[in-house]
Amino acid sequence: MANSPFKNYSTLKIASNDDQNGYQLFAAFNSYQKSRMDFLADVTFGEPTIETTKMVFSEVMRDLDKNRILLENISGTSDFNYKFVIRNLTNCRNKKDEPCLEECNCCIVNNKTQKEKDIAVSIPNDILGCHAFYLILENIIRNCAKHGIRKDDIKIYIDFDDCKREDDYYKLHIYDNSEPEKLDELVEKQNKSLNRNILEGNKLRQGGWGLIEMEAAAAYLRKHPLEDINEDDFEVNVEDSSSIYPVGKEAETQSGKPNFLKAVKVHNYYGYRLFLLKPKELLIVYDEKAEEIINQIAPKKGELRKNGIKFVKIDEFHDEALKRGVIYSYPILIFAGTKEHYKDKIKSNESSLPIRQLVCLTDAEYENSRFSFNLSQENFSKVLKQSDVFKILNEVWKAWILRQFNYLGIKINNKTFFSVINAKSNAKEIALMNDGADFVELIKDNDPSVSFDSHAIENCEKICSDIEDVKSYAEPYNSKDYFLIRKLITRYKDYPERLAEKDFQSLLRLIECTGTTIHIIDERIQELAERTPYKPERGKQQTNNKTINEIQYIDLLYATHVIIPYSGSNEFKFLRKTQESEQFNLNAKDFTPIRDKIIIYLRSIIKTTDSHSHTKAKADFLLLHLGVVEKLISSDSDKTYDKEKQIKEFIQNEILEGKKNVDTKIIFISGRGKPHNLPEDFLYLNFSIVAQYCIENRLKYYLNDVVHSAKHI
Amino acid sequence: MTISRTDNTKDIDNIELRTVLRNLVLKIDEYLLKKEPYYESLKKIGGKVREFDEDGNIVTSKIVSFQIVSYGTVFQSEHFYRVHNFCYELDRYNSGHARYFENRENKSLLPIYDEDQRTGALWYHARDPKICPSQKDYQLMYEVNIVPAEYKNFDNYQECNQQWKNWYEMIYDLYSDVNSVLATNYMVKLDKNFNIYSGVFLTFSRKLIGIERSFIKDWCQQTLSKITSENLIPDLYRHAIRQATRAAISQVMARNMSHNLGSHVMSRLVTEESLMHYLSYNPPR
């Protein structure tokens, strides 16, 4: 590329990233900075609460690779040529007791091999946690450029492997082939620096700040309080490089306390070892009444635990621990036991536990609600008896989807679920089978539909213009952009393609997102969604002289059941016809004239147990900007609220009107760190995480996952 | 025995503080029941009691209730203590109590745990079960019953004072049939806006005379002072150090933006030429 501005950084060769023009490059850089600022704000206030599963290559590294301006310049020199080599050593056939040699290519994860080899990790606070990882990489690149002897053809290896002594973590070695001088001395010096007290004379020490940054980021990635990096429990053993614990604690296993960060020598190169959380897949809480069912699979429990399925007996489930801030960041929970235990331990700690629940009561039939459904003992046994982890998880998710959609009144016939339309409008059908998914040709009918459209927004436009259709779903995607969609929805029409068993869960989560309605009340997202047009990329089938329509994001999101009210502005062309009573400018300085309108609107979108069918008009999740709520409270001079409880009282009395049978989950969003006035049992998400999945990295799949993982602050 | 528990559990996610208070209660146990110097104190109490008790009646204390309250919302610019309910970990204290028996011959003191002793059943030394002294060799000197304690924080002195009064009244109401009571408290001022009170309330099977009260009160004051000052404050200090560590890390992180992104990347994007270098780029199709 003659005019390519990139000389230093050799890319991961991801097509959508390689296709960015200059403006898109700057947009990516600005987005990166914005998220970095949010991360730095978040890191000062406390520990992350949510965790989301991310694929290392196709999500985490892809997003970093997009930021070419950063990667080109971060080294600080103009002649430092480098690239990332990501490797998944967990199942490499060449690995024996030692890590794979650097030349081993069997474990490399790249564009071609990512489908089989990409590795899933659990990242705290989504994009913010990714920035903790990026911070470590940035520091390593800069140190490598500054101190390494070699400057050319630098490879920065990121090796993932299982940790034999800690089931909950992946062990990472990040090292480079820059050949620093006096390697052993360097390793020892850095480890001693890692053990140094951060405070000297009761203030920040001099020197070694880069290591503090990296170690703090490593602690954030493990959801530990940052001050733990200064504790003896996490000191590194300088003498024994293989040890992952402090001196004197080498005999420990499963303590959950391996070192945060340690300087190591890997293949005679300088590097660091840290640990990332393995994904959490399923939490099973049971009492003595359900013990018999659980004991059927007692021999498999250890293996299941290594793969993210955790069993917790009700006695270990302490209210105190939960109220103290322990959060179970699993995507889905199965409870097996008595009604009383469910009420005392699970229901009373909702905001610390998974939102999705399957409830198997041993002494009663469970009454379904929007996010928790009855699971019979027979079905629970059937789940546990599956032969491996993937089959167990697939059964759980299938049970979840079928019950949820039945509750919502979403029609699923026996064979088919929804259709996928390509640019030629040939519909494909996805069927739910026991062990994967088949693709079959189908004639599309006129029922409310779900469609994922490659390079096209016609279905979105249709949905927006038909206000009677409150169920249909349409989401455009660009085939180059999304590894996930490409993996799950094939365009090959000649062969039925069988989905890999390990990807079936992702498919079901994609299906789930089509049945979830999210309402967002946030002035920043409202403004951005109204102003920003979505223009689908030109597909291969489209001729060059055909005009490509645009659609404002606010309408596109509507078609994906993410509802943002119009502000009432005439500046842009919108597709939906809404009542004037449903339009209000959340950016208004004074809320007094629009206060009643907003409150009436909010009341109207609350879903209750007696009106629980699926519709865009009612919210499964209501995302409320805390600032908007505060403005609503202060704009009413007639009412006074208790200062400590005003948010809670306002929500309970004004929005929910004292109702108890509410299905809608209310989540507060804020970008100001951890708000001090948020009621303790209310759900919270960082604004940055929500905003990026609405506009920049718009995909309902991710937004759906994030709202389901919301926890109390 | 019931002790009122608070339902206000806001801010009990402070793990270090929870540990502090748990250690505090364990220290009560240690000081009252195990440490040598306190046996001596108890012997003194017992000795004085016997010296002045013409009837030869021994003093038994039925209940000791230990409470810490404080007022003040701010300690080192942070909401520090709120309400803690750590009763669930103290199950053993619900039924646990200690009796001090004095050997009639050599006057050595023996602390004993055993619920059965209340009812006169066989009993064993808490530490060494092989010891099973005959009851006739020992006489009951002092009985201490530890009950679950609470810690509460209040926003102002009036509320704190009221809580103190409520506690007295509650204990008094519960044990209105006793012949004598003694209550004493100890205050630690950590900060101009933050005080910690600790208090102990004892009831006795007979009326105490002046010098007995004086000795017992001294003993209580020593105990309270040691427990509150020596144990709580170092733990508060440890908590403060962690906060300082956090602040230091925040300082380091605050420079990350300017150090990594600012000086290495953005510094190269400040001229029109450098911007155009990227803006003019179009990827090949």
Going by pLDDT thresholds of 50, 70 and 90, the confidence category of residue A429 is very low
Q: How far apart are CA A194 and CA A559, in angstroms?
A: 51
What does pTM read for this prediction? 0.74
Q: What is residue B125's predicted lDDT score, i.e. its pLDDT?
A: 34
ipTM attached to this prediction = 0.80
Q: Which of B281, B282, B285 to mutate to test the interface with A (most CBs of A within 10 A)?
A: B281
- The token duo for B142 is 């002092």
Q: What is residue A507's predicted lDDT score, i.e. its pLDDT?
A: 78
| Facing A37 at nearest CB: one of B86, B243, B257 | B257
Beta bridge partners of A83: A155
Burial bucket for residue B50 (CB in 10 Å: 0-12, 13-18, 19+): middle
Going by pLDDT thresholds of 50, 70 and 90, the confidence category of residue A530 is very high
pLDDT score of A498 more than 70: no
pLDDT score of B272 more than 60: yes
| Facing A204 at nearest CB: one of B248, B257, B261 | B248
Average pLDDT over residues A198-205: 82
CB-CB under 8 Å, B281 with A4:
yes
Q: How far apart are CA A358 and CA A212, in angstroms?
A: 43
CA A338 to centroid of chain Cα atoms: 32
pLDDT score of B4 more than 60: no
% of chain A with per-residue pLDDT over 70? 85
Going by pLDDT thresholds of 50, 70 and 90, the confidence category of residue A508 is confident
Q: How far apart are CA A174 and CA B61, in angstroms?
A: 65
Annotate A315-381 with DSSP letters as a single string.
Answer: GG--HHHHHTT-----SEEEEEE-HHHIIIIIGGGGGGS-SEEEEEESSSPPPPBTTEEE--HHHHH
Straight-line distance from the first to the last Cα atom of chain A, in angstroms, rounded to the nearest whole number: 49
Q: Which region among A3-7, A39-43, A151-155, A418-422 has the lowest average model confidence (pLDDT)?
A: A418-422
- The token duo for A424 is 């030629």
Q: Which region among A39-43, A253-257, A374-378, B214-218 has the lowest average model confidence (pLDDT)?
A: B214-218
Going by pLDDT thresholds of 50, 70 and 90, the confidence category of residue B8 is very low
Q: What is residue A279's predicted lDDT score, i.e. its pLDDT?
A: 92
A676 against A173, higher pLDDT: A173
CB-CB under 8 Å, A216 with B252:
yes
A636 against B18, higher pLDDT: A636
Going by pLDDT thresholds of 50, 70 and 90, the confidence category of residue A480 is low
Going by pLDDT thresholds of 50, 70 and 90, the confidence category of residue B106 is low
CB-CB under 8 Å, B12 with A320:
yes
Distance from CA of B56 to the nearest CA of A (A): 48
Which residues of chain A does B251 touch, with a Cβ-Cβ cutoff of 8 Å? Answer: 204
CB-CB under 8 Å, B246 with A225:
yes
Q: pLDDT tens, B41-94?
A: 444 444 443 333 334 333 343 333 444 443 333 322 222 222 222 222 222 233
| Facing A138 at nearest CB: one of B9, B250, B260 | B260
Q: Which residue of A has its CA nearest to B250?
A: A44
Q: Which region among A37-46, A329-338, B5-14, B49-58 has the lowest average model confidence (pLDDT)?
A: B5-14
Whose tokens are 């960015």? That residue is: A20
B225 against B261, higher pLDDT: B261
CB-CB under 8 Å, B280 with A209:
no
pLDDT score of A89 more than 70: yes
Which residues of chain B does A73 touch, with a Cβ-Cβ cutoff of 8 Å? Answer: 264-265, 268
| Facing B242 at nearest CB: one of A18, A227, A318 | A227
pLDDT score of B235 more than 70: no
CB-CB under 8 Å, A216 with B253:
yes
Q: What is residue A466's predicted lDDT score, i.e. its pLDDT?
A: 80
pLDDT score of A211 more than 80: yes
CB-CB under 8 Å, B281 with A69:
no
For the ranges A148-157, A512-521, A688-697, B65-74, the maximum mean pLDDT occurs at A512-521
B127 against A633, higher pLDDT: A633
Q: pLDDT tens, A335-345?
A: 999 999 999 88
A41 against B188, higher pLDDT: A41
Going by pLDDT thresholds of 50, 70 and 90, the confidence category of residue A192 is very high
Q: What is residue A522's predicted lDDT score, i.e. its pLDDT?
A: 95
Q: Which region among A81-85, A287-291, A392-396, B222-226 has the lowest average model confidence (pLDDT)?
A: B222-226
Question: What are A436-443's contacts with CB under 8 Å, separation 24+?
Answer: A436/A498, A436/A499, A436/A500, A436/A501, A436/A504, A437/A498, A437/A499, A437/A504, A437/A507, A438/A496, A438/A497, A438/A498, A439/A490, A439/A492, A439/A496, A439/A497, A440/A416, A440/A496, A441/A493, A442/A416
Residue A700: partners with Cβ closer than 8 Å, 6 or more residues away: A475, A513, A514, A516, A560, A561, A562
pLDDT score of B127 more than 70: no
- Classify A200 as helix, strand or coil: strand
pLDDT score of A516 more than 90: yes
Q: How far apart are CA A103 and CA A255, in angstroms?
A: 34
- Classify A667 as helix, strand or coil: strand
pLDDT score of A133 more than 90: yes
% of chain A with per-residue pLDDT over 90? 37
Which residues of chain A does B10 touch, with a Cβ-Cβ cutoff of 8 Å? Answer: 680
Distance from CA of A40 to the nearest CA of B (A): 7
CB-CB under 8 Å, A22 with B279:
yes
Whose tokens are 């393995």? That residue is: A278
For the ranges A237-246, A415-424, A540-549, the maximum mean pLDDT occurs at A237-246
Would the CA dihedral through B125, B129, B130, B134 be positive or negative?
A: positive
Q: Which residue of A has its CA nearest to B280?
A: A22
Under 8 Å between Cβ of A119 and A160: yes
A638 against A231, higher pLDDT: A231
Would the CA dihedral through A289, A294, A299, A305 be positive or negative?
A: negative
For the ranges A192-196, B211-215, B260-264, the maximum mean pLDDT occurs at A192-196
pLDDT score of A14 more than 80: yes
Under 8 Å between Cβ of A165 and A258: yes
CB-CB under 8 Å, A324 with B18:
yes
CB-CB under 8 Å, A212 with B252:
yes
- Classify A286 as helix, strand or coil: strand
Distance from CA of B97 to the nearest CA of A (A): 25
Average pLDDT over residues A219-223: 94
User: Cβ of B255 under 8 Å from any chain A Cβ?
Assistant: yes
Annotate chain B with DSSP letters as a single string.
Answer: ---------TTTT-HHHHHHHHHHHHHHHIIIII-HHHHHHHHHHHHHHHHH-TT-PPP-EEEEEEEEEEE-SBSSSSB----B--GGGGHHHHH-EEEEEEETTT--EEEE--HHHHTT-----SS-TT----GGGEEEEEEEEB----EEEESSHHHHHHHHHHHHHHHHHHTTT-SEEEEEEEEEEEETTEEEEEEEEEEESSPPPHHHHHHHHHHHHHHHHIIIIIIIHHHHHHHHHHHHHHHHHHHHHHTHIIIIIIHHTGGGGSSHHHHHHHHT-----
Q: What is residue A178's predicted lDDT score, i.e. its pLDDT?
A: 81
Q: Which region among A388-402, A471-485, A571-585 has the lowest average model confidence (pLDDT)?
A: A471-485
H-type helices in A618-699, by residue range?
626-634, 646-649, 687-694
Which residues of chain A does B85 touch, with a Cβ-Cβ cutoff of 8 Å? Answer: 320
Which residues of chain A does B257 touch, with a Cβ-Cβ cutoff of 8 Å? Answer: 33, 36-37, 40
Straight-line distance from the first to the last Cα atom of chain B, in angstroms, rounded to the nearest whole number: 82
Average pLDDT over residues B214-223: 65
pLDDT score of A26 more than 80: yes
pLDDT score of A42 more than 80: yes
What angle do helix axes A504-514 and A700-708 make, rounded to 10 degrees? 90
Average pLDDT over residues A301-328: 77
Burial bucket for residue B274 (CB in 10 Å: 0-12, 13-18, 19+): middle
pLDDT score of A665 more than 50: yes
A438 against B271, higher pLDDT: B271
User: Cβ of B242 under 8 Å from any chain A Cβ?
Assistant: yes
Q: Which residue of A has its CA nearest to B245?
A: A227
Q: What is residue A433's predicted lDDT score, i.e. its pLDDT?
A: 32
Q: What is residue B44's predicted lDDT score, i.e. its pLDDT?
A: 46
Q: Which of A13, A17, A44, A480 to mutate to test the interface with B (most CBs of B within 10 A)?
A: A44
Distance from CA of B72 to the nearest CA of A (A): 16
Average pLDDT over residues A616-626: 93
Q: What is residue B270's predicted lDDT score, i.e. its pLDDT?
A: 84
Q: Which of A42, A67, A138 to mutate to test the interface with B (most CBs of B within 10 A)?
A: A138
CB-CB under 8 Å, B278 with A135:
no
Question: One-letter amino acid identity for A164?
Answer: K
User: Cβ of B254 under 8 Å from any chain A Cβ?
Assistant: yes
Going by pLDDT thresholds of 50, 70 and 90, the confidence category of residue A62 is very high
Which residues of chain B does A227 touch, with a Cβ-Cβ cutoff of 8 Å? Answer: 242-243, 245-246, 249
pLDDT score of A83 more than 80: yes
CA A26 to centroid of chain Cα atoms: 24
Q: What is residue B124's predicted lDDT score, i.e. its pLDDT?
A: 32
User: Cβ of B8 under 8 Å from any chain A Cβ?
Assistant: no
Which residues of chain A does B283 touch, with a Cβ-Cβ cutoff of 8 Å? Answer: 1, 18-21
Q: Which region among A249-258, A381-390, A429-438 has the lowest average model confidence (pLDDT)?
A: A429-438
pLDDT score of B173 more than 50: yes
Q: What is residue A360's predicted lDDT score, i.e. its pLDDT?
A: 94
pLDDT score of A168 more than 70: yes
| Facing A73 at nearest CB: one of B18, B86, B264 | B264
Question: One-letter amino acid identity for A581?
Answer: S
pLDDT score of A518 more than 50: yes
Distance from CA of A225 to the nearest CA of B (A): 9
Q: What is residue B19's predicted lDDT score, i.e. its pLDDT?
A: 46
